[in-house]
A and B are shown apart, each in its own frame.
Chain A
Amino acid sequence: MIGRDEPAPAPTSDGQLIQIDHLVKTYLLGEVEVHALRGVTLGIRRGEFVAIMGASGSGKSTFMNILGCLDKPTKGTYILDGIDVSRLTRDELAHIRNSKLGFVFQGFNLLSRTSAIENVELPLLYGTSSIRDREERAVKALNMVGLGDRVHHYPNQLSGGQQQRVAIARALVNDPSIVLADEPTGNLDSRTSVEVMGIFQELNEKGITIILVTHEPDIAQFAKRHIIFRDGRIKSDRINSSPKLAAEVISELPAVDQEEPV
């Protein structure tokens, strides 16, 4: 399924954007202890395009939440861009999310009845930028995802693919170190999915680190590295030396007249 795999290099301390060491996460569900992560050690370099895969319950979502600074590990360390974020407070984590991370979700998670540009500006509201600066950066981010002509559209006036692109623009607007995408194509048809992956590939070309959670092997094909979780541990971690190119895949797909709203 994943052709010509090679083992990933062992994590080293230099040049790492993310360094995770023996990460453990245990939930208390009622009186039952759930071991979501049982010791994960991992390094991700700047500029990588990583796909995290695994069945539901494998711990990949918990791992993503911790990577996204939305949750704290029970044990272990997580160093992001030189900062040990595993011991930060709630508000400090919020600041990290604001300045270093961009999120793309399966359900787009745009504010309804709020225009594309306002949605994209949202992270900047919690920063220090001025109104004019905000607008400039939001328009720039929308241009990057090819929505320069839909700036003042509302989510309900946009197709699923366009909504997800607004979400990607929102993730990009703060110049994050990492874009975390949690099943970004889960709600999209196959053609739009490839288009969205194309955008991720373009962004990755520009040097943005992308971490993608997916359970679809087809989608994972576009990433450069595959990490598979099982039972709270990493089962395999391999480089995908020949990722598919979204641009090529699209040209092979049958032509569609126009994008239908989802």
Chain B
Amino acid sequence: MKILNILISAFRALQRNKMRSFLTMLGIIIGVAAVIAMLAIGQGAQYSVEQQISSLGTNVLIVYPGSQNTGGIKGGAGTNTTLTEDDCIAIQRECPAVGLISPGTRAGGQIIAGNMNWATGIEGTGSDYLEIRKWGIEYGDFYTDADIKAAAKVCVLGKTVADALFPDGSPVGQTVRIRNVPCKVLGVLTKKGQNAMGQDQDDVVLAPWTTVKRRLTWFPYLRQILVSATSPGNIPVAQTQITELLRMRHKIAPYDADDFSIRNQADLANAATATTQILTILLASIASVSLLVGGIGIMNIMLVSVTERTREIGIRMSVGARSRDILMQFLIEALVLSLLGGITGILLGVGGSGAISSLAKWPTIITFFSILLSFGFSIAIGIFFGFYPARKAAMLNPIDALRYE
């Protein structure tokens, strides 16, 4: 029997039981749609995490002070008072793999402009901060080395803060009060969006680190040092050079632990990517369970169909159908079911992912691979779960099949 003839009779057989065929397909439809949607969500998450991490600047290293240790009580990371301006100067001077450097300190507080106010974090930075973080000024200017030297009362607003304090006009040239210190707004940063942890990176005020240190916190040490390596490949070199230099400067004995820590974006990126990959795999494997259940549904219906159509099989055999004709007929029926289900599922999955991105504002990415995967999966399920019933039909004895009531 020619394949075309088998296909035609498979379609006719499925048409005769439209409702049943549809319900059988529904299992595959839901399974495939779920796999597509879950992969889309997972890969969307992965993509946005990668995007956010690279938005931090790819060759950035952050030096944090170690934990404070008073009489055995450890204060946690960043509490120690070990990083100083002199460390910065030394790193800049003695580490050839280090490109730019920006000392960092931090304060929190209420920012007031006219009758508006906003609570946010104030980052004290160096003048190269924006370049290290690959950030830009939307309008206005950034502060200069001179401002830093003078601990000038100036600041630059993140987009969120600017919008909150100056909803109508331009903040440039206006004065805001940061914890009662009046600062002139030099510029507004470009929008950067959320970081990998979901924090709004634009909800920030940048000011010269000297200003934050001398006028806001009076905390004489640095909270962090932001460093860029001369190239992404030089990150490990820069890390080693800084570690050696700081150990020497802080007079740490050879077997003692560092009193500082260095983190780089690559580690963070890898960790975050690995996490989202696990998420993707997890989602997809849960979804593929429903695909498996759909396959069992196909097998179930095909078995019922074989029993129900025993006499038809007998008639076909009596007019000359060979075992393999009957096998092919039922196998192709199962395959048509799973393929139609698969294609419908792919359409539904693509549509569903689109709906998720537009309604839940969750990024989704549908790759050719995930479509191919679910398509292949549904073919495999059709063959795998269709084979047993088809074989059962093909092995029937023509006489018994004809006499079957």
> Which residues of A line the B interface, CB within 8 A?
65, 68, 70-71, 90-91, 94-95, 97-99, 103, 105, 109-111, 113-114, 122-123, 125-127, 170, 174
Contacts and interface: CB of A to CB of B under 8 A. Distances in A.
B319 A103 contact: yes
Interface string B1-45: 100010001001000100000000000000000000000000000
Contacts of B323: 90-91, 94
A125 B1 contact: yes
B229 to A, nearest CB: 72
B324 interface: yes
Interface string B385-405: 000000000000011001000
B322 A94 contact: yes
Contacts of B12: 114
B318 A97 contact: yes
Contact of A122 (B316, B322, B398, B402): B316
A94 B1 CA distance: 12
A91 B322 CA distance: 5
Contacts of B5: 125
B322 A105 contact: no
8 contacts: A70-B318, A90-B322, A94-B325, A97-B319, A99-B320, A113-B16, A125-B5, A126-B321
B311 A109 contact: yes
B399 to A, nearest CB: 5
Contacts of A94: 317, 320-323, 325
A126 B402 contact: no
B399 A98 contact: no
A97 B320 CA distance: 5
B315 interface: yes
Interface of B: 1, 5, 9, 12, 16, 311-312, 314-325, 398-399, 402
Given A123-B319, A174-B319, 18 more contacts: A70-B318, A70-B398, A70-B399, A90-B323, A91-B323, A94-B325, A95-B320, A97-B318, A97-B319, A97-B320, A98-B320, A103-B318, A110-B315, A111-B312, A126-B316, A126-B319, A126-B320, A170-B319
Contacts of B399: 65, 70-71
A70 B314 CA distance: 10
A164 to B, nearest CB: 14
Q: Give the most central of B314, B315, B321: most A CB within 10 Å.
A: B315
A65 B9 CA distance: 27
B402 A109 contact: yes
Interface of B is mostly: helix
Nearest to A96: B320
Residue in B16, B322, B324 with the greatest tally of chain A CB atoms within 10 Å: B322
Contacts of B317: 70, 94, 97
A98 B320 CA distance: 4
Nearest to B312: A111
Nearest to B9: A125
Given A70-B398, A109-B402, A113-B16, A122 B315 contact: yes
A94 B317 CA distance: 7
Contacts of B1: 125-126
Nearest to B398: A70
Contact of A105 (B312, B316, B320, B402): B402
A129 to B, nearest CB: 10
Contacts of B311: 109
B194 to A, nearest CB: 60
B315 A109 contact: yes
Contacts of B320: 94-95, 97-99, 123, 126-127, 174
Contacts of B325: 94, 126
Nearest to B394: A90
Contacts of A90: 322-323
Nearest to A113: B16
A211 to B, nearest CB: 15
A226 to B, nearest CB: 25
A94 B323 CA distance: 9
The 10 tightest CB contacts between A and B, nearest first, are A98-B320, A123-B319, A126-B320, A94-B322, A91-B322, A97-B320, A70-B398, A109-B315, A125-B5, A70-B399
